[in-house]
């Protein structure tokens, strides 16, 4: 199946213009499926049956995979076998009768405005590292970027004079505004810290680590967890927590949901509407007192 998976990946990249994250997800899911089927003696696409795929799904369930993970794997399988059917490689799609597991929808993890304020106030000793950390946290909350988009930013993607960033995901890009607090944090970082962290090197990436290399996802996860603990936030906090909080606080402050959808880069409006429940339940005096949609504009 390896050759067919490779052709499928080329099709998704060149014809469908799938994002990097989507491509990585498809490749991982299909490679793991192929490895499992090979162990069962199934090495070619035409030999794959519904029974074999059901067996793989049961295997994932027995190994404790979440229903969301299994649902994503099944979506990858369906897209792949639909492609194979259109290419004439198979006469019948083995995924057509597979049932997707029910997914229990959970409310996204959202911090209160006060918790976000505490978190963003933690980096403050003036060191190049903490000035950088301050800029990253402020920009993440000001824009709601995905962590991959944040660490993928280049210096040229930031317009400080107008106040917006342009983030890229494959062939797609979107522009997201940010306010004066994030602008000041970015200015401090660019003028006083980035050059020190680069250690004489030249790199296009906006955020670099203490060795002058591009910031990694893992590196930023450690940063946000460190400051979350320092701020006394007991909930599990990740970069996505700030992304969720950005959307929820904007909607809670009265922002138009379609505008938030565009800023978040959501293809499905229903994804953005998930934050409406927070807005309804959390119209507390603090939120109502904010004069604009974003509490740190």
Same-domain status, 173 and 279:
yes
Q: Considering 86, 121, 151, which residue would you say is the last residue of a domain?
A: 86
CATH number of the domain at 211, please: 1.10.443.10
Residue pair 145/139 in contact (Cβ under 8 Å)? The answer is yes
Question: What domain range is 251 assigned to?
Answer: 113-289
Question: Beta-carbon neighbour count of residue 193 at 10 Å?
Answer: 21
Residue 143 lies in a domain: yes
Name the token pair of 169: 């995901």
Residues 6+ apart with CB under 8 A from 20: 148, 169, 170
Residue 71 lies in a domain: yes
Under-50 pLDDT residues of the chain: 283-292
Same-domain status, 175 and 227:
yes
Same-domain status, 29 and 138:
no
Question: In this predicted structure, what is the pLDDT of residue 290?
Answer: 44
Name the token pair of 24: 């990585």
Same-domain status, 66 and 175:
no
22: enclosing H helix or E strand: helix 20-39
Same-domain status, 178 and 243:
yes
Residue 98 lies in a domain: no
- Give 214's strand partners: 208
Question: In this predicted structure, what is the pLDDT of residue 104?
Answer: 55
CA pair distance 59, 54, nearest whole angstrom: 9
Same-domain status, 62 and 197:
no
Closest C-alpha to 129, from 74, 205, 194: 194
The total number of structural domains in the chain stands at 2
Name the token pair of 192: 């006083």
Same-domain status, 143 and 76:
no
CA pair distance 30, 272, nearest whole angstrom: 29
Name the token pair of 135: 């800029």
Q: Considering 70, 86, 102, which residue would you say is the last residue of a domain?
A: 86
- Cα of 84 vs its chain's centroid, Å: 29
Question: In this predicted structure, what is the pLDDT of residue 188?
Answer: 96
Q: Each residue of 45-88: pLDDT tens digit?
A: 999 999 999 999 999 999 988 877 888 898 899 999 999 999 99
CA pair distance 184, 191, nearest whole angstrom: 10
Same-domain status, 124 and 79:
no
Residue 176 lies in a domain: yes
Question: In this predicted structure, what is the pLDDT of residue 170?
Answer: 65
Q: Each residue of 215-230: pLDDT tens digit?
A: 999 999 999 999 999 9
**Any idea what DSSP says for residue 11?**
H
**Is pTM beyond 0.85 here?**
no
**Longest Cα–Cα distance in the chain:** 65
Same-domain status, 31 and 128:
no
């Amino acid at each position: 199946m390896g050759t067919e998976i490779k052709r499928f990946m080329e099709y998704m990249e060149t014809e469908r213009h799938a994002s990097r994250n989507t491509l990585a997800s498809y490749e991982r899911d299909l490679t793991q499926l192929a490895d499992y089927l090979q162990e069962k003696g199934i090495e070619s696409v035409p030999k794959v049956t519904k029974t074999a795929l059901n067996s793989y799904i049961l295997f994932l369930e027995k190994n404790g995979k979440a229903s969301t993970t299994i649902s994503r794997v099944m979506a990858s399988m369906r897209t792949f076998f639909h492609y194979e059917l259109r290419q004439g490689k198979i006469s019948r799609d083995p995924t057509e009768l597979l049932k997707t597991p029910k997914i229990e929808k959970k409310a996204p993890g959202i911090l209160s405005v006060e918790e976000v304020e505490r978190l963003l106030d933690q980096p403050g000793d003036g060191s190049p590292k903490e000035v950088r950390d301050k800029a990253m946290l402020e920009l993440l909350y000001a824009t709601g970027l995905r962590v991959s988009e944040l660490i993928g930013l280049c210096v040229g993607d930031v317009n400080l004079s107008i106040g917006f960033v342009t983030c890229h995901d494959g062939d797609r890009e979107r522009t997201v505004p940010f306010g004066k607090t994030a602008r000041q944090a970015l200015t401090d970082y660019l003028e006083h810290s980035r050059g020190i962290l680069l250690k004489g090197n030249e790199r296009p990436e906006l955020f670099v680590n203490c060795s002058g290399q591009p910031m990694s996802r893992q590196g930023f996860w450690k940063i946000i967890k460190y400051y979350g603990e320092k701020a006394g936030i007991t909930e599990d906090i990740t970069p996505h927590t700030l992304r969720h909080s950005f959307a929820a606080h904007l909607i809670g402050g009265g922002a138009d949901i379609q505008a938030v959808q565009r800023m978040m880069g959501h293809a499905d409006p229903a994804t953005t509407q998930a934050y409406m429940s927070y807005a309804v339940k959390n119209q507390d005096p603090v939120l109502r007192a904010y004069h604009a949609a974003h509490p740190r504009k």
